Amino acid sequence: MRKLYSFCSSCALLFLLLSRLLTFGAYAQNQPVDAAGHQWWQNAVFYEIYPRSFADSNNDGVGDLNGITSKLDYLKKLGVDAIWITPCYPSPQVDFGYDVSDYENIDPMYGTLLDFDRMESAARQRGIRIIMDYVINHTSDRHKWFLDSRSSRDSAHRDWYVWHDPKNGGPPNNWVSVFGGSAWQLDPQTGQYYYHAFYKQQPDLNWNNPEVVKAMVDVTRWWYERGVSGFRLDAVDKLFEDPDMRDNPVLPGKNEHGDPNLDEIYTSGLPGVHDVLRGLRKVADEHNAVLVGETWTSNIQELRKYYGEHNDEIQLPMDFMFAMVNKVSASSFRKQISLVESSGGWPVYVISNHDIQRSYDRYGDGQHNDAIAKLMAGIYLTLRGTPILYYGEEIGMENNDPTRVEDVKDPVGRVNWPVDKGRDGERTPMQWNNRPNGGFTGGKPWLPVPASVTTHNVESESKDPKSILEFYRHLLALRHQNRALLDGEYVPLNQEDPNVLSYLRRYKDETVLVALNMSGTPQKVSFDLATQGFPSAKAKSLLTTLQTEPASLSDLALEPFAVYIAEVSK
């Protein structure tokens, strides 16, 4: 029995390897492009999965890779082309996987490497690519490199991390951690401090050390050879620190953790990061892979730099300035879109993720939340660029914030309660149906499912043609078929309108008009498209939330938060 089992599992492995070799040729061609010169990642829709919360196959209350595999048909039907899985490597889970203790394995909580291979192969069969989350700024303090590093001042890995002597009996300088308190932790055994931009269990790697660079780049090769199509690079702005250890200038006031506000000129966005990105990109290009960046920036010039001077760094740096337009406002979104358009880079639109409050609550007005969820889809899925959905956004999942400090799982929420309740609220289990725990698990879920599960779940919404989910499905299907939506240029219209955001997407002789009422009151708009080459434009709805087909583009009535997407012809 045992022998038969091991024979079968070797067969399975051989099969996986063979199928990978057969399909690899197709993937490894030198960046094939479509008729508009776009690469696969420009036409793809990305979807972020927080594996703890997506689907639990073994009923231990935590999601896993087999759970993801079981939902690939759902993702395919939704119109997803690539999934970014947040870290599923072995980890003590202090920061729920963002503290990695081995970059080349899977945490047993999520499964095994064989489960990964099965998932990757099943995804590939459906035309879905896998993007790993690569935590490059720091490791876990339990990673073997750090264990060795801290063991003595002259250990082989000592210089793989950022160590400094105390200054006046305290930390080397005033740098503070993103999660609060000094960013320096004293190691009593060796008498030096190590630097951690995040929790003290997440020591920063020393990217000035060529051995670190080589080891980290090699990790990407290892995963490419296993079939992944790219990486989402975590916290890229934090890779380097000032070698002279200068204090960050102190600004007025305190932050939410009670630390002084600092201008992070010596700890964020240092130039060395671009060399690292170019190195990672070179290897990515050899595998026709994509780099997605967690690129928090405060202006478009900063964001532009992440593409690289010669477009040789991150292909998809996320535009968080778009997500941070916190109000449904035609003029604010118009401004942000035109800034990104003018930067010359390929835009990457996100409206939520595992670190920020869900878009359903952020944009919702408490009265028209479902309509607003469709409106938001109507904007970020019809713009030029690559959109990244956050799991559950397509069904209108809402935040479920803890109400008692003893229930909080995210450490930052416990330390700073109640000013900062942590990120549990946006990480709750995917709502598959309205059975107990939203069908996520047969056990006790690691985080509670909100009451909205009864109405906002995949099963119920699949049966309702007016649901948010059906809207997403139709819109994503349209986006995949329509050349103007995929490749067309962005042409803003009626730029003075304070309520309705409208634009054309034009590709050769195909033109799509998008009109979005970003207000809670009915609006009338009139489009004169003569200057666009349509003296007597006719429109045919492709997708709309309007109850009746509009008679004319010169007198278009839009209900509150309505979406109107139409094909324009002469």
Closer of 370 and 426 to ligand GLC (Cβ): 426
Q: Does 64 bind ligand GLC (CB under 6 A)?
A: no
Closer of 64 and 234 to ligand GLC (Cβ): 234
Counting every residue written for the chain, the total comes to 570
Q: Which amino acid is at 328?
A: V
Copy the structure tokens of residue 504. 């054309």
10 Å CB burial of residue 333 (0-12, 13-18, 19+) is buried
Q: Does 98 bind ligand GLC (CB under 6 A)?
A: yes
Strands (E), 20-140: 46-49, 82-85, 129-134
Catalytic residue among 81, 117, 120, 234: 234
Q: Does 394 bind ligand GLC (CB under 6 A)?
A: no
Nearest distance from C-beta of residue 199 to ligand GLC, angstroms: 8
Closer of 232 and 274 to ligand GLC (Cβ): 232
Nearest distance from C-beta of residue 510 to ligand GLC, angstroms: 37
Q: Determine which helix (DSSP H) or strand (DSSP E) holds 303, and give its type and residue range.
A: helix 300-305
Nearest distance from C-beta of residue 20 to ligand GLC, angstroms: 29
Query: Of 88, 56, 64, 46, whose CA–CA distance to 391 is shortest?
Result: 46
Q: Which amino acid is at 412?
A: V
Q: Quick check: helix, strand or coil at residue 262?
A: strand
Closer of 98 and 110 to ligand GLC (Cβ): 98
Q: Does 135 bind ligand GLC (CB under 6 A)?
A: yes
CA distance 299 to 297: 6
Nearest distance from C-beta of residue 153 to ligand GLC, angstroms: 27
Task: Give exposure, 424-433, as e/b (b: 16+ Cβ within 10 Å).
Answer: bbbbbbbbbb
CA distance 423 to 408: 9
Instruction: Give backbone dihedrals phi and psi of 554, rounded to 5 degrees, phi first.
Output: -85, -5
Nearest distance from C-beta of residue 98 to ligand GLC, angstroms: 3
Residues 95, 120, 237, 559: which binds ligand GLC (CB under 6 A)?
A: 95
- Site string (173-212) toward ligand GLC, x via CB under 6 A: -------------------------x--------------
Q: Does 85 bind ligand GLC (CB under 6 A)?
A: no
Closer of 95 and 117 to ligand GLC (Cβ): 95
Q: Which of residues 268-307 bind ligand GLC (CB under 6 A)?
A: 294
Residue indicated by tokens 């049966």: 463
Nearest distance from C-beta of residue 401 to ligand GLC, angstroms: 16
Q: Quick check: helix, strand or coil at residue 110?
A: coil
Copy the structure tokens of residue 367. 């009265």
Specify whether 102 is catalytic: no
Specify whether 312 is catalytic: no
Residues 285, 355, 407, 459: which binds ligand GLC (CB under 6 A)?
A: 355
Nearest distance from C-beta of residue 139 to ligand GLC, angstroms: 10
Nearest distance from C-beta of residue 178 to ligand GLC, angstroms: 7
Q: Looking at beta carbons, which residue is closest to ligand GLC?
A: 98
Closer of 354 and 505 to ligand GLC (Cβ): 354
Cis omega before residue 450 (within 30°)?
no
Closer of 198 and 266 to ligand GLC (Cβ): 198
Q: Which of residues 214-273 bind ligand GLC (CB under 6 A)?
A: 234-235
Contacts of 562 (CB under 8 A, 6+ apart): 371, 375, 515, 516, 517, 544, 545, 546
End-to-end CA distance of the chain: 71
Q: How many residues form the binding site for ligand GLC (CB under 6 A)?
A: 9
Copy the structure tokens of residue 538. 């006719």
Closer of 83 and 235 to ligand GLC (Cβ): 235
CA distance 39 to 288: 9
Strands (E), 169-249: 184-187, 192-195, 230-233
Catalytic residue among 286, 309, 464, 549: 286
Binding interface with ligand GLC (CB under 6 A): 95, 98, 135, 198, 234-235, 294, 354-355
> What amino acid positions are annotated as catalytic residues?
234, 286
